[in-house]
Structure 1
Amino acid sequence: MVSPLELLENRQDRTPSFMFKVFNPAAAAIAGCGLALFHNFAYRRPVWSGIQKHVIFTIIGASAGVYFDKKRNEHIADRDAVLRHYISLHPEDFPTPERKKYADVLEVWQPIR
């Protein structure tokens, strides 16, 4: 049987996928460029005029995406550390779950005709 503490420790073995690392900064960069497009549209200018504004907003958006991704990872790491510490101090509150077979969980199925 695997204890809950071992389940939390095994999560560190996983490697994040490429999309996991890139999605938030890319989405924030697209949102920054979209904000520049919307700004031009709202002021009735050609949407791609002032290309330097689009570049600057895209860079700011990507930087914000990286920053918030880093903060989220720190928050998740702190939360996992607190949970690991609590589980190690109170093992009696987290008994090892007993394994069940599908035959024990599923009810008998009888078709109605």
Structure 2
Amino acid sequence: MYLYQQFFRAFGNYKFTMIPNAIEVLFDERERPVPFLSQIFNPLFGGILGVSCAIFVNFVSKKPILSGIQKHIIFGAVGLGAGKFFDGIRNEELAKRDAVMRHYIQLHPEDFPMPEGKKYKELLTPWVPVR
């Protein structure tokens, strides 16, 4: 008996049960940790962009690239602040979008039925060796 036949015999009628419906996803009360990189990406990118702008200004004015280090520090700090500001705006917009989605799902739960589980044998095709 082939391995895939053993697999279908053992798991062919097993249904996926990890498919959540929309209500479970949006109303989950667990605290999700914010990924580290998403916390620092926008401020870091803004700071790097600010320092790059200072380098570009020096390059265009035909000065040494790293001259006027205070300009690099100021541009980097402004870029860091701008990145933090735009990150906050983005988080507010995403929170508003989620609130609108939650409200719509609360008002129209019939539009979001529980997805039916699929069996492994419906998803996997028989394996045919090519020699």
TM-score by length of 2: 0.79
Pairing 1:29–2:47 present: yes
Cα distance in 2, alignment partners of residues 60 and 46 from structure 1: 22
Superposed CA RMSD = 1.7
Aligned to 2:28, the other structure's residue is in SS state helix
Gaps of 5+ in 2: 1-16
Cα distance in 2, alignment partners of residues 85 and 45 from structure 1: 57
Q: Which runs of 4+ in 1 moved over 3 A?
A: none
Cα distance in 1, alignment partners of residues 39 and 100 from structure 2: 24
Larger radius of gyration between Structure 1 and Structure 2 = 2
Residues 79 and 12 of structure 1, relative CA distance in 2, 3 Å threshold: farther
**Count of matched residue pairs:** 113
Identity %: 49
What is the deviation of 1:106? Answer: 1.8
- Structure with more helix by fraction: 1
- Structure 1 window deviating more from structure 2 (12-21 vs 28-37): it is 12-21
Question: What whole-Å deviation, never above 9, does each CA across 1:1-42 have from its counterpart, x for those lacking one?
Answer: 743111122386211122211111011101100110011011
1:4 aligned partner: 22
Cα distance in 2, alignment partners of residues 81 and 90 from structure 1: 14
Matching residue within 86, 100, 106 for 1:82: 100
Cα distance in 2, alignment partners of residues 12 and 74 from structure 1: 20
